[in-house]
């Protein structure tokens, strides 16, 4: 009996060893484990150097802007678009009548009409998901796309930050587990630099240097007497960044009066001036800029057009049209458009049906994100929605896919891993794949 058991054990070990060797062989075999890689052609990496994200906070209605459908009527409770459609520079593609300037140069754009996610009624969660490409987690704070780009590629030079937010600070735009070094510098107007970056009157170079030496000594004493944790390190990083950018070279970027009056006027009002400032920030070496549109609700409700908000939605669309078209043409004149990816994004779209007050609710199952420049194969309209823009009929684009497209355009591997606390590897995108048509 013992001999039989011994023989059985030997047989089992031999079989197991053979199986292990076989699996190892299979693991190294591209023909077995690389079927998807072999069947899917490699997507070339893009060569864009900068990114400008224009954020339409509140949920811009896709069928009233970039994906027009049959005309609706809120008074008759007839679902459909609120505005008429016009032809564009892309054959067969129409946009809303209040986007005439963008329509003329739409061959520099791409429209992604089938972006989607599952968050509907919660603005904050949707904003976070669009910015991070992932659902909100209770265990980890994921970095925003601006912070990831800034972390991976950094500023173009030592005289500019990697990431600037023109708008109010918000956690969803932040660096998450990447820490303060991947954070943003923010401002809410175009006439002055970021708060705290401008020296007080009468503080020259030598006096500033003495102040910095004194501050460094005080911080050194603190570190010797305590065991500083992450908060202290984050503070040190923030102070170092502020000091690096507090000189006159970066402050000069905000002198919009150095631009021709005709150019400033072509951009339009406050939002347009933010876009003009963005071009100057790009020239100074900023890698990623997010511009919030309509910070002060010039139409009363912003892009969250419930009830009466629908009545003045065209004011927002017209303002976007003027500033966005001017930015594209200005970058083109300065030979920067191919190097700069422009992204026009929002947290979700809006349904074709009108609510009781004549406006629209929220809708995330299909909405539009627009790209321009960036060295892409421009002039394409990707994805098709049904007759009311409610259902995706072809080429669905997930948020991870959208993020992968942006990263790939900027020369970043969408599958590269970042490291959360505890050395936990986190891929830059949640299995996202770039939209191949834009690169091949």
Note the pTM of the prediction, 2 decimals: 0.84
Mean pLDDT of the 117-141 span: 93
Q: Distance between CA 411 and CA 390 in Å, rounded?
A: 33
Q: Distance between CA 99 and CA 88 in Å, rounded?
A: 10
Q: Distance between CA 228 and CA 232 in Å, rounded?
A: 5
Percent of the chain with pLDDT over 90: 67
Checking if the pLDDT of 415 tops 60, the result is yes
CA 238 to chain centre: 23
Q: Band of the pLDDT at 232, cuts 50, 70, 90?
A: low
Checking if the pLDDT of 33 tops 50, the result is no
* 133-137, 209-213, 249-253, 350-354: segment of lowest average pLDDT: 209-213
Residue 5: which residues within 8 A CB-CB, separation 6 or more? none
What is the model's pLDDT at position 18? 42
**Model pLDDT for residues 153-210, shown as the tens digit of each residue:** 999 998 889 999 999 888 999 999 999 889 999 988 787 666 555 556 666 667 767 7
What is the model's pLDDT at position 299? 65
Q: Distance between CA 242 and CA 195 in Å, rounded?
A: 10
- Between the alpha carbon of residue 418 and those of residues 122, 180, 337, 403, the distances in Å are 28, 15, 29, 15
What is the model's pLDDT at position 158? 86
**271's tokens:** 């939002």
């Amino acid at each position: 009996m013992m001999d039989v058991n011994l023989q059985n054990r030997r047989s089992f070990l031999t079989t197991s060893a053979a199986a292990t060797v076989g699996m190892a062989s299979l693991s190294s075999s591209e023909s077995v484990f690389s079927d998807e890689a072999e069947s899917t052609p490699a997507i070339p990496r893009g060569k864009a150097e900068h990114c400008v994200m224009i954020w339409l906070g509140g949920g811009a209605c896709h069928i009233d802007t970039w994906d027009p459908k049959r005309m609706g009527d809120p008074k008759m409770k007839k679902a459909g678009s609120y505005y008429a459609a016009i032809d564009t520079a892309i054959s067969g593609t129409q946009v809303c009548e209040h986007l005439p300037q963008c329509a003329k140069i739409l061959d520099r754009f791409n429209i992604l009409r089938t972006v989607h996610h599952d968050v509907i009624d919660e603005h904050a969660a949707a904003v976070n998901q669009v910015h991070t490409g992932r659902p909100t987690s209770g265990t980890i704070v994921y970095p925003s796309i601006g912070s990831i780009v800034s972390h991976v590629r950094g500023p173009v030079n030592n005289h500019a930050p990697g990431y600037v937010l023109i708008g109010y600070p918000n956690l969803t735009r932040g660096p998450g587990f990447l820490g303060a070094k991947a954070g943003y510098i923010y401002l809410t107007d175009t006439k002055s630099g970021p708060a705290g970056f401008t020296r007080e009157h009468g503080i020259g170079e030598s006096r500033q240097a003495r102040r910095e030496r004194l501050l460094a000594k005080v911080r050194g004493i603190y570190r010797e007497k305590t065991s500083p944790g992450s908060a202290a390190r984050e503070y040190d990083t923030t102070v170092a960044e502020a000091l690096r950018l507090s000189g006159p070279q970066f402050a000069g970027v905000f002198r919009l009066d150095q631009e021709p009056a005709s150019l400033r006027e072509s951009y339009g009002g406050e939002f347009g001036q933010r876009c003009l400032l963005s071009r100057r920030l790009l020239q100074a070496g900023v890698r990623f800029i997010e511009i919030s549109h309509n910070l002060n609700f010039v139409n009363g409700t912003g892009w969250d057009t419930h009830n009466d908000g629908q009545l003045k939605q065209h004011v927002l669309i017209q303002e976007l049209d003027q500033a966005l078209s001017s930015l594209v043409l200005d970058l083109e004149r300065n030979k920067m458009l191919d190097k700069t990816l422009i992204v026009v994004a929002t947290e979700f779209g809006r349904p074709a049906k009108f609510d009781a007050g004549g406006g629209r609710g929220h809708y995330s199952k299909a909405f539009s994100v627009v790209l321009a420049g960036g060295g892409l194969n421009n002039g394409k309209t990707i994805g098709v929605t049904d007759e009311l823009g409610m259902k995706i009929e072809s080429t669905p684009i997930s948020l991870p896919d959208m993020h992968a497209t942006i990263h790939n355009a900027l020369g970043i591997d969408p599958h590269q891993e970042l490291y959360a606390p505890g050395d936990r590897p986190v891929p830059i995108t949640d299995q996202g794949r770039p939209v191949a048509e834009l690169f091949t």
